[in-house]
Amino acid sequence: MVIKKYLSGKNRKFDPILKNFERARVAVLGDVMIDEYLFGKCSRISPEAPVPVVEVDRREFRPGGAANVARNVMALGGKVVLCGVVGEDGIGRLATEEFRKNGIDTSALFIDDGRPTTLKTRIMAHNQQIARTDTEKRTEIPETITRKIVKYFMDHLNEIDGVIISDYSKGVVSKRLLDELIPALKKRKKIITVDPKVANFYHYRSVTCITPNRKELSDVLGYPVESDEQLIAGGKSLLCDLSLDSLLVTLGEQGMCLFTRDGEVLNIPTVARAVYDVTGAGDTVISTFTMAAIAGADLKTSALISNFAAGEVVGMLGTSTVAREQILAAIKNYRVK
């Protein structure tokens, strides 16, 4: 069993890797979103239409998309710059100020006055979501802003160790952007990881790792990935087609499957003790994997550490983060079977 192999004896030395997280300098590039939650009670139906009336008593704003990935990097002890777009609006200004207060560098967060800041509003009553509204514009960002993003990276390549591309198909990540950035980052031997969307999948060539879930893998392959045989065949095919260093497929309650260029396929079972909420788990996985790779871990060890991080975060309610100390404690307390 892979966990037994990597956690027994001399292989159980993760402390130096996790300690080195504090030296990591990460740029998170992608679609910045804000998650708004309206909490309240529902006791009547509207006289205007057959819909519930929610009496709101609490409102919360939380980082979403690329912003939540940046938040995860911060929680793990790394230094992070958030690169993306917000609108010229109140939500954008509020978000930028909150990011700065939390230690996230926003010098690469650009304003597009032709679009709103992406806002996902969830209406919650009695601990259940009863409706969601999306305020967004999904067209590709203007060429002028793409050029600003490229220039930022070219000017700051020596100040970052790795880049996480958080693609939610909201217009920031495009072929023209990737075609310029990936070769430059590869030339400087930077870690590049991608949380993908199908539309851009074949533009992520030659990166360090892509982290699709089972559905995203199925969508890009064009057929259902249900059996272990389909998973292995599809994963190997995609790894080869895109010339990746690795492919990490997240499988929910079944754990993860890592494909590496040397031909090895590593099945990593989940270590979650309880699953309350999977919201944002993918952000935790890619953040932890990237931080571990930057800190000197090989691809297999990076995947294993990110699996433990995911096991912790799904035991929390809402979009959450995990700290290095929690991961190390989970690893040390895990009983090798």
Catalytic residue numbers, as ranges: 283
* Residue from 75, 81, 121, 76 nearest 100 by CA: 81
CA dist 31 and 67 (Å) reads: 8
Helix (H), strand (E) at residue 116 = none
* DSSP single-letter state for residue 115: S
Q: Which two tokens stand for residue 143?
A: 């060429």
110 contacts: CB under 8 Å, gap ≥ 6: 84, 85, 86, 145, 148, 149
Expressed in angstroms, the distance from the first to the final Cα of the chain is 8
* Residue from 288, 289, 287, 250 nearest 270 by CA: 250
CA dist 164 and 192 (Å) reads: 6
Helix (H), strand (E) at residue 282 = helix 281-294
CA dist 65 and 69 (Å) reads: 7
Burial of 265 (0-12, 13-18, 19+ CB in 10 A): middle
CA dist 115 and 83 (Å) reads: 16
Q: Which two tokens stand for residue 309?
A: 């991080």
* Residue from 43, 34, 91, 86 nearest 65 by CA: 34
